[in-house]
Structure 1
Amino acid sequence: MSVIQTAFVAGTRGAWRIERITAVTGQALAQADRLAVVGPDEAGDVAAGAQWRLDGATGHPRYATRQELDTLAAVQQGLGRPEARCAALIPIRKNPAWWALGQDERRAILEEQSHHIAIGLEYLPPIARRLYHARELGQSFDFLTWFEYAPQHADAFEELVSRLRQSAEWRFVEREVDIRLVQDDPTLQGVV
């Protein structure tokens, strides 16, 4: 798997119009009008008037089994589909207790107790997602999750995030911000 580095820059420019920024747990992010989703080298081009910038990178799967990865690959559609004009960026930081656990313990909470991957699979292919790791980059969040979906799947997306937030895994979340977006012009470039 190749690593994809991405910068999410909120300000006055970008293909995505920010509808709302909500603090779910902990401190919110500053309000902004637009979000640009670009490679790190392009972030300077949209930085004028930026309220904040979050950087993340895709990486190797950490908690998924081979069977789960194969199932995800078979049913998940890619990002940037023209009909997927709605998006959500959900940055999350977990507490020190989460990071003190062994990887096997985190996997047990993530899937055996919380059914995180299994729940996500129920909403594919209409809801596409990409996980970015930010902790290793020294960011204020551990994970940045990007979702894209068509307007007619907005209720399904709400159900998905509600179910995940009710799981055992979420007791380890110390900061979560929910950013909802709409792409006004589907011909504009989406996620890197």
Structure 2
Amino acid sequence: MFTTFRGGQTGTWRVLSIAPARGDTLPIMPALSVTHADSIALPPAPSAHSWRLIGVASHLRYTERLEKIALTKAQAGLGRAEATRAALIPIRKNNAWWLMTQNERRRIFEDKSRHIADSLKYLPAIARQLYHSRDLGGPFDFLTWFEYAPEHAEVFEELVAMLRESEEWQFVEREVDVRLAKED
């Protein structure tokens, strides 16, 4: 299933901020819409008044069986009524990352950076979904989507800071941090 994140003039989510964490940012838009489809039926092309990012939720690529079980047990689903805050964090890794084998990337992702192990303590307060977009020709490799209740905003900041301090983040070439609030 393809997911489109469209920054524009209207949408279910109100944009609170758009800021670069590394590299170029995205144009500031007042709203974000999120749509899901079985195929890429492109919405209107991006313009000076909108942008769009498309990704696909895929199988877990760097996760081992016991980690998958732990994640499934701990994580909450998206769309919870109390989760009126969200973050869209698109990421592009550098060529050094992609020149490594999957096993080498796994060692950095989990063995050194402890991406899964250290993130588990933030679940279920933070719900998340990773969308792959590298093979779709977009400007980012991954679109990370997080949802949480306003009272968990500080916990979310801890999670983001922890991930950005990891060895894995040294391979990030571009990252944009889009913060959102749900419209009633």
CA distance in 2, matches of 1:97, 1:48: 32
- The CA RMSD over aligned residues, in Å, is 1.7
- Asked whether the equivalents of residues 93 and 143 of structure 1 are also in contact (C-alpha less than 8 Å), the reply is yes
- Name the residue aligned to 1:54: 53
SS in 1 for 2:43: helix
- Name the residue aligned to 1:188: none
SS in 1 for 2:73: helix
Report how far residue 39 of structure 1 moved: 2.2
Report how far residue 49 of structure 1 moved: 7.4
Cα displacement string for residues 103-162 of structure 1 (whole angstroms, at most 9, x for unaligned residues): 111000000100001121110001000000000111110000000000000000000000
- Name the residue aligned to 2:144: 145
Name whichever of 176-185 and 35-44 sits farther off. 35-44
CA distance in 2, matches of 1:181, 1:43: 23
SS in 1 for 2:77: coil
Q: Cα–Cα, structure 1 residues 100 and 48, in superposed 2: closer, same or farther, change >3 Å?
A: closer
- Quick one: which amino acid aligns to residue 19 of structure 1? L
- Name the residue aligned to 1:159: 158
- Quick one: which amino acid aligns to residue 63 of structure 1? Y
- Quick one: which amino acid aligns to residue 92 of structure 2? R
- Asked whether the equivalents of residues 79 and 129 of structure 1 are also in contact (C-alpha less than 8 Å), the reply is yes
Q: Cα–Cα, structure 1 residues 48 and 94, in superposed 2: closer, same or farther, change >3 Å?
A: closer
Percent identity, aligned pairs only, is: 53
The runs of at least 4 consecutive aligned structure 1 residues that moved more than 2 Å come to 39-50
Cα displacement string for residues 7-39 of structure 1 (whole angstroms, at most 9, x for unaligned residues): 000001110000000001000000000000002
Aligned residues: 182
CA distance in 2, matches of 1:50, 1:110: 36
Report how far residue 184 of structure 1 moved: 2.1
- The partner residue of 1:22 within 19, 23, 30 is 19
- Name the residue aligned to 2:33: 36
CA distance in 1, matches of 2:150, 2:45: 27
SS in 2 for 1:44: coil
Paired residues for 1:1-192 under 5 Å: 4-40=1-37, 44=43, 50-185=49-184
Q: Cα–Cα, structure 1 residues 43 and 78, in superposed 2: closer, same or farther, change >3 Å?
A: farther
SS in 2 for 1:83: coil
CA distance in 1, matches of 2:100, 2:128: 26
CA distance in 1, matches of 2:48, 2:66: 45
CA distance in 1, matches of 2:36, 2:102: 30
SS in 1 for 2:67: helix
